[in-house]
Amino acid sequence: MRFTLKSAAATLALTTALAMPASAELTGNLRIFFNDQNPAPKEAMEGMVERFQAMHPDLNIELTLIDREANKTQIRNYLTANAPDVNGWYAGNRMRPYVNAGLFEDVSDLWDGPMGEELASTRPALTLDGKQWGVPYSYYQWGIYYRQDIFEELGLSVPTTWEEEKANCQVILDSGRKCYTIGTRFLWTAGGWFDYLNLRTHGYDFHMALTAGEIEWTDDRVRETFAKWRELIDMGAFIDDHTAYTWQEAQPFLVNGEATAYLMGNFLVAPLREAGLTDDQLGFYQFPEITPGIPMAEDAPTDTLHIPAQAQNKEAARAFLQYVASAENQTIVNDVLGQLPINRNASVADDKFIQAGFEMLSNATGGIAQFFDRDTDAEMASAGMEGFQEFMVLPDNLDDILNRLEQVRQRVIAQ
């Protein structure tokens, strides 16, 4: 009896020791600046911190939540003065200014271990100059969210090719509705349309070369992409006056059935459910094929955590990032967020749209893009998205727009 108790205690001690590796004695302060104050991300982050705290009771963790938009300018201040130990940011070219200025810590050592294998799908997105600069905790799919009930009413089926997409749209227009709702007031929504039209017309490699500034904007292939876009614009497929609406203000058109589809990220689902759409009314499909035979590539923006180069407690920060990347944590966090885990051993929430997204991204043989404004240089992104909005209103200005974009591209690559 005594003997068994003792061995049980020993086993317990052994397992805890295994669960908490050498870094178990982490002490000091760990300051985390997280870039989202919305309820779900807040809950997810607080949960992460709580579990990590339980593993390292001697560590004093201090979590600061910063508004998502405010963080985009504040990051420049806090990375250069009084840096936290961990901060939230985005993958892709969006890391470039901070990597170039030497403000992000190189965390390639974390990626060299088994963690790198588990997160393999996003390794390219976190790699700049051959090194990794952060760890992802979540991503989400983009695609077409549509009114399943209206499609049924009109006898439409989910399109898989461009011709079917346009044929469907014609039926929808004839029924007195618009095909797509969109609000371009803050420009980025138009970036989603460009990404998909370009990815489907010319494939991932061309798109990435274009966003990296290696291809001229006046190239004929770029014009082909815009020609596809113009087919929809000329049909009158998009809602009127979209320049006046934000992406939220464009939602009622879908909810009221005045428009039948919305090209958007998965974060659209929560507000639509709140607005009263049931899972029987709302469906999801992958953006259809345009050029046959091109492997399907998707937009899936990745949210990441980084260690500032001036962090005080890098040991604890590394241990935290390692925990963030673990399958156990990513399962819990993404369940709360309603998004997709990156760790391939994590399990996916039982939700219609998350399952669909997981399925789609697992089969994205073409590649995974971040998003127009995260893949391009900042100056190019702002000029590009402004051009897309102008094109959607005044498609005849295309030559003028492309010349302007080419001018910006040349200035950016010259620097």
Partner 1 sequence: MSISSDTETRGWWHRNQMQLAPWLFLAPGIAFFALYVIYPIFQSFNISFYRWDGLGEPVPVGFENYRQLLDDRAFYVSLRNNVKWLLLYLLAIPGGLFIALFLNQQMRGMRLYKSLFFFPFVISQVVVGLVFAWFYNPAIGLWNPLIGLFGFSPMNVLGNPNTVTYGIIAAGLWPQIAYCMILYLTGLNAVDPEQVEAARLDGAKGWKMLWYVILPQLKPATFIAVVVTVIGALRSFDMISVMTNGGPFGSSRVLAYYMFEVSLSEYGFRMGYGAAIAVVLFLIMLVYIAFFLWRMWREERGS
Residues that bind partner 1 (CB under 8 A): 69, 72-73, 76, 80, 97-98, 100-101, 103, 184-187, 240-245, 249, 252, 373, 378-379, 381-382, 386-387, 389-390, 393, 404, 411, 415
In the complex, minimum distance from the CB of residue 318 to partner 1, in angstroms, rounded to a whole number: 24
CB of 90 or CB of 284, closer to partner 1: 90
In the complex, minimum distance from the CB of residue 401 to partner 1, in angstroms, rounded to a whole number: 9
SS (H, E, C) the chain: CHHHHHHHHHHHHHHHHHHCCHHHHCCEEEEEEECCCCHHHHHHHHHHHHHHHHHCCCEEEEEEECCHHHHHHHHHHHHHCCCCCEEEEECHHHHHHHHHCCCECCCHHHHHCHHHHHCHHHHHHHEECCEECCEEEEECCEEEEEEHHHHHHCCCCCCCEHHHHHHHHHHHHHCCCEEECCCCCCCHHHHHHHHHHHHHHHHHHHHHHHHCCCCCCCCHHHHHHHHHHHHHHHHCCECCCHHHCCCCCCHHHHHCCCEEEEEEEHHHHHHHHHCCCCCCCEEEECCCECCCCCCCEEECCEEEEECECCCCCHHHHHHHHHHHHCHHHHHHHHHHHCCECCCCCCCCCCCHHHHHHHHHHHCCCCEEECCHHHHCCHHHHHHHHHHHHHHHHCHHHHHHHHHHHHHHHHHHHHC
CB of 12 or CB of 101, closer to partner 1: 101
CB of 129 or CB of 240, closer to partner 1: 240
CB of 204 or CB of 217, closer to partner 1: 217
CB of 240 or CB of 396, closer to partner 1: 240
In the complex, minimum distance from the CB of residue 29 to partner 1, in angstroms, rounded to a whole number: 25
In the complex, minimum distance from the CB of residue 145 to partner 1, in angstroms, rounded to a whole number: 19
In the complex, minimum distance from the CB of residue 176 to partner 1, in angstroms, rounded to a whole number: 17
In the complex, minimum distance from the CB of residue 309 to partner 1, in angstroms, rounded to a whole number: 12
CB of 8 or CB of 244, closer to partner 1: 244
In the complex, minimum distance from the CB of residue 124 to partner 1, in angstroms, rounded to a whole number: 23
CB of 159 or CB of 183, closer to partner 1: 183
